[in-house]
């Protein structure tokens, strides 16, 4: 089974309850496992991590719920075990997207990540959780628990990694 990131634009959902109901319907789809779902605080964007052998089934599950699919990419989980993410016990409230430069390979990315991860200690009020790296190395999504956007930006500066976009997530 592979992991897929499905980024989406969400229409006509303005509450946590409505979004949760929508996600439950996706969970019920045969052939896919919803590993995790994060949504922007304003409910405009959704980030689904789906485990499946059939990328089309993942797309169809979201389209069936009137979710507009903006991007589908196979991803690799870095920084956490898949079982831990599925357990859902860890709180995150910020998502950083980074458009990875073309010259960085997966091996270079992993080497850089290992070397820089200790630098997060310079920003103790921010807790790095996990990253999903697109297998085609076009971008990654990094999840954090932090008091505010400024703290996330300090953490990214500490590891010398830019921010393409920064999204506050719903509770």
Predicted confidence at residue 131, as pLDDT, reads 95
Which tens digit of pLDDT belongs to each residue from 103-144?
999 999 999 988 988 888 889 999 999 999 999 999 999 999
What confidence tier does 164 reach under pLDDT thresholds 50, 70, 90? very high
Q: Over pLDDT 90: what percentage of the chain?
A: 61
Q: How many domains does the chain have?
A: 1
For the cut 90, the answer to whether the pLDDT of residue 65 exceeds it is no
Q: Which domain does 95 fall in, by range?
A: 2-168
Helix residue ranges, H only, 44-170: 55-63, 82-87, 106-116, 149-158
Model confidence at 30, in pLDDT bands (50, 70, 90)? confident
Look at the block and give the residue holding tokens 């052998």: 53
Min mean pLDDT across 9-23, 32-46, 68-82 is at 9-23
Q: How far is CA 144 from CA 38, 79, 105, 117, 131, in A?
A: 12, 12, 23, 13, 9
User: Residues for the chain: how many in total?
Assistant: 171
User: The domain spanning residue 146 has which CATH number?
Assistant: 3.30.70.3090
- Do 46 and 98 form a contact (C-beta atoms < 8 A)? no
Q: Is the pLDDT of residue 87 over 80?
A: yes
If we measure between CA atoms, which residue out of 80, 99, 71 comes closest to residue 35? Answer: 80
Ranges of beta strands (E only) in the chain are 2-9, 32-39, 45-52, 68-78, 94-99, 127-134, 139-145, 165-168
pLDDT above 90 for 88: no
Residue 35 confidence (pLDDT): 94
């Amino acid at each position: 089974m592979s992991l897929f990131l499905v980024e989406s634009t969400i229409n006509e959902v303005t509450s946590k309850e409505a979004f949760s109901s929508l996600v439950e319907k996706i969970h019920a789809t045969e052939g896919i496992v919803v590993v995790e779902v994060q949504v922007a605080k304003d409910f405009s964007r959704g980030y689904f991590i789906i485990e499946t052998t059939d990328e089309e089934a993942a797309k169809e599950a979201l389209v069936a719920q009137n979710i507009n699919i903006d991007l589908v990419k196979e991803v690799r989980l870095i920084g956490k075990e898949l079982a831990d993410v599925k357990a859902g016990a860890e709180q995150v409230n910020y998502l950083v997207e980074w458009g990875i430069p073309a010259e960085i390979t997966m091996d270079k990315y992993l080497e850089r990540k290992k070397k820089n991860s200790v630098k997060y200690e310079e920003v103790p009020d921010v807790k790095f959780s996990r990253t999903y790296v697109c297998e085609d190395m076009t971008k990654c999504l990094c999840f954090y628990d932090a008091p505010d956007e400024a703290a996330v930006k300090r953490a990214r500066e500490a590891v010398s990694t830019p921010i393409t976009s920064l999204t506050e997530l719903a509770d």
